[in-house]
Amino acid sequence: MAKSRGKTVNLAMIGCGGMAGAHLNGYEELARKGENRFRIVAAVDEAKERADAFATRLQANLGWEVATFKSVDQLLNSGVQVDGGDICSPHGVHHVLGCQLLDGGVNVLCEKPIGITVKASKKIAATAKKRGLGAATAEQCRRAIGQRAIHWAFHDGDLLGTPRMWWAVKAGWQDPTKVGGWHWRIDRKLGGCGMVMDSGAHWVDTMRYWFGEIDSVYARVEQIHERRFKKGAKVVKSAAEDFWTAIFNFKSGLVGTWSWTVSAPGKGFTQLTMAGTRGSIVDSDIFHPAAFQANGECQFIDGTTYSMPKLQSMFLDSLSKKRRDALFPYGITGGVTLELWDFIDALSKGRPVEIDVEEGLRSKAVSEAIYESGKAGQLVRVADVLSGKVNAWQRDVDRMWKL
Task: Tell me which residue of 340, 358, 374 sits closest to 118, measured CA to CA.
Answer: 358
Report yes or no: 344 and 85 within 8 Å, Cβ to Cβ: no
Q: Which residue type sits at 160?
A: L
Give the model's pLDDT for residue 6. Answer: 87
Q: How many Cβ atoms from other residues are within 10 Å of residue 132's Cβ?
A: 8
For 64-91, what is the mean pLDDT? 97
For 147-169, what is the mean pLDDT? 97
Going by pLDDT thresholds of 50, 70 and 90, the confidence category of residue 103 is very high
| Cβ neighbours for 313, distance < 8 A, ≥ 6 positions apart | none
Give the model's pLDDT for residue 197. Answer: 93
pLDDT beyond 70 at 294: yes
What residues pair up with 135 in beta bridges, in sequence order?
108
pLDDT beyond 90 at 45: yes
Distances (CA, A) of 192 to 108, 186, 234, 383, 396: 21, 8, 21, 20, 10
DSSP class per residue in 211-222: H--EEEEEEEEE
Pairs from 290-294 (Cβ < 8 Å, separation ≥ 24): 290/144, 290/146, 290/147, 290/149, 290/150, 291/140, 291/141, 291/144, 291/146, 291/147, 291/202, 291/206, 291/335, 292/144, 293/146, 294/146
What does the mean pLDDT of the chain come to? 96
For 227-256, what is the mean pLDDT? 96
Give the integer Cα–Cα distance in Å for 98 and 125. 10
For 389-396, what is the mean pLDDT? 97
pLDDT beyond 60 at 41: yes
pLDDT beyond 50 at 2: no
Give the model's pLDDT for residue 5. Answer: 74
Q: Which alpha helices (DSSP H) does 212-318 contain, by range?
A: 308-318
Give the model's pLDDT for residue 4. Answer: 57
pLDDT beyond 60 at 28: yes
3-state secondary structure of 235: strand
The DSSP bridge pattern shows strands 107-111 and 135-138 to be parallel
Give the integer Cα–Cα distance in Å for 344 and 242. 38
> Could you give the domains of the chain?
9-141+330-356 (3.40.50.720), 142-325 (3.30.360.10)
